[in-house]
Amino acid sequence: MTGVLADPLLTALEGVRDPELDEPITALGFVASCTRSADGVAEVHLRLPTYFCAPNFAFLMVADAYDAVAAVDGVRAARIVLEDHFAADAINAGVAARAGFAGSFAGEAAGELDELRAGFLRKAVLAGTDQVCRPLLGAGRDPADLARLRLGDVPPSPELRRLRRRRAELGLAAGDDAPLLIDPDGGGGVPGGAAPLYLRKARTTRVNIEANTGICRGMLRHRYADAGLGQTSEEDR
């Protein structure tokens, strides 16, 4: 297919995240190419760190990329191609047919991936809470004090904006009057006595996500010599 790098398409793909790592597929280097023909056919090629990346994670990224690209003005048709993956044929065909995960893996998948996505969002909320709370703890606030704070009490920051977005995606309160510490499962506030354990869990979740992100970035660099479109370095994160 002939075409040129289409910035609106790449911008749309910046909104597609690896569900486990909670990072844009562009920043991670997963976008190998992104083109649009003169008659409005968009084609995006995606790549992943290993041949055996979990097919449910891969399916979510390919399906989300399809939705993002198809919604761009001027795109008449979208084609998302996952490369070098053991389940690429099933995923590519299923997304193109809008068959869903269960339809793409008929007889193998128990159902769709809504709960999987929600589970990763809950982890993103915990990790994001740690990112927001660490500076506050470093400034001398104690965990019980943080349990009394509302989002509107926290100084504005990119981390706070990101946390609000993740909470909103999960259907949790994200306004100024919402508790800073919130149970991502039920949506209730965290009592002061439970705050230390909650914050330790949030920190562990954040560390695990960042470690997995570093591993995936390293494997991708080993697998592909060239950078992906929109890829950032770990220092830029």
- Please write the tens of the pLDDT for every residue from 159-195: 999 999 999 999 999 999 999 999 999 999 999 999 9
The model scores a pTM over 0.85: yes
Exposure string of 195-222, with b = 16+ CB inside 10 Å and e = fewer, is beebbeebbebbeebbeebeebbeebee
Instruction: Give the pLDDT score at 233.
Output: 82
Distance, in Å, from the CA atom of 168 to the CA atom of 134, rounded to the nearest integer, reads 21
Q: Are 72 and 37 in contact (CB under 8 A)?
A: no
Q: How confident is the model at residue 1 (pLDDT cuts 50, 70, 90)?
A: very low
Instruction: Give the pLDDT score at 236.
Output: 62
Q: What percent of the chain has pLDDT over 90?
A: 94
Q: And the tokens for 188?
A: 């209730």
Distance, in Å, from the CA atom of 196 to the CA atom of 202, rounded to the nearest integer, reads 10
Q: What percent of the chain has pLDDT over 70?
A: 96
